[in-house]
Copies of this chain bind each other. A is one copy, B any other.
Amino acid sequence: MDAHEPTPGAFELFAAGVAEGGRQAYTEYRGSMEIRARLAPRLAAFTSCPVDAENGLIITPGTQGALFLAVAATVSRGDKVAIVQPDYFANRKLVEFFEGEMLPVQLSYEEADEGRAGLNLGQLEEAFRAGARVFLFSNPNNPAGVVYSAIEINEIAALAGRYGATVIVDQLYSRLTYMDVTYTHLRAAAVDAENVVTIMGPSKTESLSGYRLGVAFGSTTIIARMEKLQAIVSLRAAGYAQAVLRSWFDEPAGWMAERIRAHQAIRDDLVSQFRRIEGCNARLPQAGSYLFPRLPRLRIAPGQFVKALRLQAGIIVTPGTEFSPHTAASVRLNFSQDHAASVAAVERLAALVERYRA
Contact = CB atoms under 8 A, between A and B. Distances in A.
A132 B358 CA distance: 57
A137 interface: no
Contacts of A231: 90, 93
Mostly, the A contact residues are helix
Given A65-B234, A232-B68, A234-B65, A210 B2 contact: no
A212 B236 contact: yes
Contacts of A211: 238, 240
A238 B61 CA distance: 8
A320 interface: no
Contacts of A90: 231-232
**Copies per complex of this chain:** 2
A351 interface: no
A21 interface: yes
A239 to B, nearest CB: 4
A62 B210 contact: no
5 contacts: A11-B15, A11-B18, A93-B232, A210-B238, A210-B240
Interface of A: 1-2, 11, 14-15, 17-22, 24-26, 60-62, 64-65, 68, 77, 90, 93-94, 97, 209-212, 229, 231-241
